[in-house]
Chains A and B, each alone.
Chain A
Amino acid sequence: MSDYSIWVCEYSYVPQYHKSGVLYGAHNEGYVKLPYCYVVIKGNGRTVMVDVGYNDKDYGKTLGDRFGVENWRTPKTVLAEVGVTPEEVDTCFITHAHFDHFGNVEDFPNAKFYIQEREIAKWVWAMSLPDRMRWMMIAVDPGDIVRGVNLARDRRLETVNGSVSDVLPGIDLHAADDSHTWGSMWVTVRNDGKAESDDTWVLAGDLIYVFDNLKGSGAAVDAAEDIYTPVGLAVGSQTNLVLATEEMMKQVDYDAKRIIPIHEERLKDVFPSRTTSEGLRITEICLADGEASKVAN
C-alpha cells in the first residue's frame, strides 16, 4: 500500500556547475550539469511541494547572463506534466531559505508554508552583521523575507522548531541545524503510514546534492568502502552534513536509493523519467495506489 506519489520536477538548470560546489574537496575536477528541481507529493487528499523554486521575473536575467542558467519554466507549466496546478497545492515544505528553494511563494496562493524557525531567526541575525561578514548572506534575497511577511500576515507561514513527526499523515520534517544553512530540513515520507515504515523516502533538499554525497570514494581517506562526502557549499559545517546524512540513511535502512537528491542529473538513470516538450525532466519516484504514471509512454 502506498499513500503518496512523489515526482521530482525540473524547472531550470545550469549546464556547467563546478563540481567542488556539490562535492566537498572536488577541486579542479571540472563541471557537472546542475538541474533545479522541486518535488511534488500527492496523495491522502493532499498536494504538497518540497520547495518552490525561484521567480524568473526577479532573477532570470542575472542568472542567465552571469551563470548560464537556462530554460526556466513556470510552476504552472512544470506541474501540468504531473497533472497538478499551483492552485491545488495546499502545503509547501521549504527545506531552506535560498532563493532557488524559497523564491517563488507567490505562485502558490493557497498553500501553507513550513520552514524551520531557526532558518528565519538566523537570517535576521545575519542581516544585522557587519559588512565584513556578509559572506553568510550568500544566496539569500531580502525579497524572500519580505514575501514571508505576507505569508505570516495571512497565517500561511508555519515555523517549525526542530523535527516534527506526522506534520501530515506519514510525513515528517527533520532539522539539520548548522549544515547547508543554519536551519535546513529534510522531508521524510513513510509511504505505508507506519511508524516503523518499510517504505520510506527521504527528500533531502540541499543536504544531499548528488549520489556522490552518499557514496563518495573511500580512497580519499584510504578506506576500502564508500564514504559520505558532504556537499561543498555550507554556512554550517560539513561535519553536520555528514551527521545528517547518517540520520537519513538510518531512516531508509541504509538503502541509498531511497534518499532523493534534487540536484542530481542521474536520477533519470535510477527512476522512471521522461523529458518534456520543454526540455525538462520529470522523474517518478513512486506512485500512490491507483495513481497513473506520469512518465510512461
Chain B
Amino acid sequence: MIRIELEKRAQHSAIFSLTSPLIALVITAVLGAIMFLMLGKSPTAALYSYFIEPLTEMWSIHELMIKAAPLILIATGLSVCFLSNNWNIGAEGQFILGGIFGSALPIMYPEFTGPMVLPLMLLMGIVGGAAYATIPAFLKARFSTNEILSSLMLVYVAQLFLDWLVRGPWRNPEGYNFPESRTFHADAVLPEIWFASGRAHWGFVFAILIAVLMWFVLNKTLKGFEVRVLGLSPRAGRFAGFSSNKMIFTAFIIAGGLAGLAGISEVSGAIGQLRPVISPGYGFTAIIVAFLGRLNPLGIIAAGLILALSYLGGEAAQISIGVSNKVSAVFQGLLLFSVLACDTLIHYSIKVVKSARGKAAL
C-alpha cells in the first residue's frame, strides 16, 4: 500500500518560500507546451515566440514596461489588502475610476494648461480610485458585507459608467461620433522616460519607487506589522491595540489609490484619451501578480514583468503562430493555479508512505 501524504511542517520552509514561484513557472511552461501540442503547434516555437521573442527588441521591452507598470502598481496595493485579509477583487474598477477622475481635467477644461495639470491629474486619479474603493470598505466595516462580491460587482458599474461617459457627455465634439474623448493636450500627457528608445512612460518609474517604498513599510515598520497581524488574527490584532475596521479602510484606500494612479498613468501615458475600454484586465491580472510575488512588493516587481510578458507574448503568438490571443488568459490562469498549488509546499511536505504493516495485518 502506497500513499502520498501531506505532512504539516513545524516551521514554514524558507527554501520553498523562494522557489515555489519558480516551480510554478516551470509547471506553467510544461502545461503550456502540452496545450500548444494539442493545438497542433510546435511547443518549442510557440513557447519561444511567447516568452523569448518579446525580449529580443528594444521597442518591445518598452512595451513590456508599459504593461508591467499598472500590474506592479495595482498588485502592490493589493498586497496590503490581501495581507490584511481584505479581499479586494475590484481593482479593475478602481483603475477605471482613477482614469476617469484624472481625465476630468483635460477633458472638461482643455484650455487649462501648464506644469500644474499633470500633478493635479495624477492626484485626482489617486483620489478617484481610493474613493471608489471606500465603497466596499464601508460596506464591509459597517454591515459586514462580503467585500469579494461588492468590490467585484463595482467593476461592472465602473466599466458601464466609463462606456456611458465616452459615448455621451465626454464624447469628443470633433471626433466624428466615435466613442472616444478628446485627445489630451501636451501638458496632460505623462512623458516618456527615455523618448529616444521607445514609448515607456513615467508610470513604470512610479511603480518601481512605490513597490520599494511599500516593501519597506510592510517589512520594517509597525504599520506593516499591524497589517500582517490583523490579517493573520483579528483578535490578536485587537489584543495588540490595532483596529480591524480602520485597517479595512486603510487597505482599501491604499489599494484603490494605487489602482487609480495606475489608471490615470495608463490613460495619460499610454492612451492619451479616454476610450470605452482602457484596460485589458490589469486589475484582475494584478491579483495573479500579487500572489506570484508572494505578496512581497519586491517579488511583485518581478511577477509584474512576467505577467506583462504574457500579454505581449499573446499578441506575438497571435501574429507569428496564429493562435488566439485568448491563450494569454489561459496562461495566466495556469500560472495562478500553479502558484497556489506550489504554495502548499511551503507549509507542507510531501511524503510517500510505503506501508509494511499491510503484511502484518494478514
Decide whether A and B are members of one complex.
Answer: no
